[in-house]
Amino acid sequence: MAVDLEPVPDVPALMADDILVVADLHIGLEEELREKGGRIPSRAGTMGRRLLEIADRRGASRLAILGDVKHLVPKMASRERRDVYVFFRDLASGFREITIAQGNHDGMLKNIVPRNVRFKPAYGFRVADVGFCHGHAWPYKKVMEAKVLLMGHNHPAAAFRDAMGSRQIVPCWLRVPFLPKHRRYPKLPKEAIVVPSFNELCGGMPVNDIRARFIGPLFDEDLVRVDEAAVHLLDGTNLGRLADIRVDLGFRPEDYRQ
């Protein structure tokens, strides 16, 4: 059964039929920023209201989150625990089904979310011909047999640099084609769509920087053709092939942390 995939204009979210798909909420990121001297209120309530507004506008009845719902690892702050529970409690009235694909930041999350939330392992899950996963672990073979794979984890963003050295980095979609075959998987999707982070505080990893480092096993050079990836802004603008739009932002490899 074919699933219709459609990005939500100007929003880091997409529709897969009636499923609203987002990634990398990182609830509790504010706690880490607070430890470093920042004073930023929790974004959990704002993100929850935004999801409900999008769902109402687009007719979404289900929600899929591609991992990293929470932020702090390995510890968990009491405020983070409360914010996660309240976040899903408030979403329950707007979605008949909520599913989470476990991310690398989601340790202990299963013990916090309300019982009506479906919690899937890091190996992902599949709905019809679409696979869903976070991207930090090898997915199930059945997930990789889907027509397309939706994943998070890398927080993709597009970078621009002008002649004066001014830099701008904005969230983007990354559509990465798979190679025909791989030693681990007898069958592969046509492409992976990397979903940008839904939490604007996370920023993004500039995928077209010459020193960009993609993380996770799915960016194995024997599995995907990264240089052939298509880059799209949230408003739908197609920036072209990744190999054709690379820039030197002057960052160091150690500057990339997620």
Residue 74: per-residue pLDDT: 66
Residue 1 placed within a domain: no
Of all residues in the chain, the percent with pLDDT exceeding 90 is 69
Residue 239 placed within a domain: yes
Coil, helix or strand at residue 193: strand
| Alpha-carbon span 95 to 231, nearest angstrom | 30
Q: What is the mean pLDDT of the chain?
A: 90
Instruction: Examine the pLDDT at 36 and tell me if it is beyond 70.
Output: no
Sheet of 14-16: strand order equals 5-7, 14-16, 19-22, 62-65, 97-101, 117-120
Tens digits of residue pLDDT in 93-109: 899 999 999 999 888 88
The average pLDDT across 175-186 equals: 95
Q: How many domains does the chain have?
A: 1
Q: Find the length of the chain.
A: 258
Residue 144: per-residue pLDDT: 98
Residue 199 placed within a domain: yes
Residue 116: per-residue pLDDT: 86
CB 43 within 8 A of CB 28: no
Candidate from 76-80, 215-219, 228-232, 245-249 with smallest mean pLDDT: 76-80
* Nearest CA-CA partner of 239 in 191, 195, 174, 179: 174
Residue 122 placed within a domain: yes
Question: b vs e for 160-199, b when ≥16 Cβ sit within 10 Å of the residue's Cβ?
Answer: ebeeeeeeebebbbbbbbbeeeeeebeebbebbbbbbbbb
Tens digits of residue pLDDT in 233-258: 999 999 999 999 999 887 765 555 55
Tens digits of residue pLDDT in 111-130: 888 888 999 999 999 999 99
Residue 80: per-residue pLDDT: 81
Tens digits of residue pLDDT in 55-96: 999 999 999 999 999 887 666 767 788 889 889 999 998 999
Residue 75 placed within a domain: yes
Residue 170: per-residue pLDDT: 94
Residue 7 placed within a domain: no
Residue 99 placed within a domain: yes
Tens digits of residue pLDDT in 121-155: 999 999 999 999 999 999 999 999 999 999 999 99
DSSP 200-240: GGG--EETTBTT----SGGG-TTTB-GGG-EEEETT--EEE
Extract the tokens encoding 225. Answer: 């053709």
Residue 5 placed within a domain: no
CA dist 132 to 113, 122, 128, 229, 240, Å? 19, 10, 11, 19, 25
CB 147 within 8 A of CB 190: yes
| Alpha-carbon span 30 to 150, nearest angstrom | 27
Q: Which amino acid is at 118?
A: R
Positive or negative, the CA dihedral 24, 66, 15, 235 is positive
- Domain span at 140: 12-255
